[in-house]
Amino acid sequence: MTTLHWVVGMGGMLGSHVHRAVVAAGERVWQPTEPVPWRDPGAAAVLVDHASQFLAAGQGRPWVVYWCAGAGVTATAASQLQAEVDLLACLLAAIDPPAAQLGVVFLASSVGGLYAGSGVPPFDEGTAPRPLSPYGRSKQAMEEVVGDWAARAGGRSLVGRISNLYGPGQDLDKPQGLITQLIRSHLERRPLQVYVSLDTTRDYLFVRDAAQRVVAATHRAASLAPGSRMTKVVASQRATTVGAVIGELQRVLRRRPPIILGSSPLSGLQARDLRVRSTVWPDLDKASLTPLPVGMHETLLELQEKLQAGRLGPSA
């Protein structure tokens, strides 16, 4: 029986690529007729209505909900982040047995948010999360919400702890995405302030690769027993320093990206070394990955197109 898929946050970077990956796999995607007014007090009611429509459209077939929504970053206020947790809880409260037992809920979580204070890397699914920021604590709360729903309603929850995404579709209004912001600075001929040490280590994953792994993992999760909760690190499992990113971009751009090294109180909320690995379903990680220079070049082409069309908007 064909599985019905719903990508919540389809307009975002990860959500848009997950949508494409589901379609490319020949699966059926359900889309609501009206958008969610995320900043409106009525957003919860709209999400609950969407959940009802989605389950009705499924007509008793297996389903997957991908929660790829969220505007929060490290600097976001705790109250706004709590609102995102509450919206997820509202949606899940609308998915009860027996419908819950037919489905999988995927939650896009964060390597950086969860493991910022976790000690000695590399971190994996067995590492105890120690978030340092309200952003990280909100992601931990969302993981608990989706896991509790699975245990209560008999659904299946899959948490994807995702490393540093880059590539086309990055939200340029957010102060995040080092690779995208460096390319934008290059195109606009303005320096970018970098608030972390050049030896800061991150795991950079091209967003299309991430989406494909997310979809593959949800297919695997669908075979788990009702009530199961699973966590998987979604990452390249390759460590790259900020200095190495700048050097690679210099080769792609044929000019060193303009940067200014600075300091920020938010730096203390982030780990110096975020190397990660996955020990859960390692066979899903064997698919080839987009090389960093290739992904950088694709990101450059998208930003060049937006610049020429006047769609870059003000700098974050």
Say if residue 180's pLDDT is above 80: yes
How far is CA 287 from its chain centroid?
19
Cis bond before residue 122 (omega within 30° of 0):
yes
Strands 4-8 and 229-234, bridge-based pairing: unpaired
Give backbone dihedrals phi and psi of 107, rounded to 5 degrees, phi first. -115, 125
The shares of helix, strand and coil residues in the chain, as percent rounded to the nearest 5, are 45, 15, 40
**Interval 245-286: pLDDT, tens:** 999 999 999 999 999 987 666 556 678 999 999 999 999 999
HEC letters along 52-110: HHHHHHHCCCCEEEEECCCCCCCCCCHHHHHHHHHHHHHHHHCCCCCHHHHEEEEEEEE
Sheet holding 28-29, edge to edge: 28-29, 4-8, 63-67, 103-110, 156-162, 229-234
The whole-angstrom separation of Cα 90 and Cα 217 is 24
How many residues would you count in the chain?
Answer: 316
CATH of span 167-202+238-273+288-308: 3.90.25.10
Q: Which residues does residue 260 pair with via DSSP β-bridges, in sequence order? A: 193
Structural domain boundaries in the chain? 4-165+205-234, 167-202+238-273+288-308
Query: What pLDDT score was predicted for residue 13?
Result: 95
0.85 exceeded by the pTM? Answer: yes
The domain defined by 4-165+205-234 folds into: Rossmann fold (3.40.50)
Q: For 185-228, how does the pLDDT look when each residue is reduced to its tens digit (9 = 90+)?
A: 999 999 998 988 999 999 999 999 999 999 999 999 999 999 99
Contact between 112 and 272 (Cβ < 8 Å): no
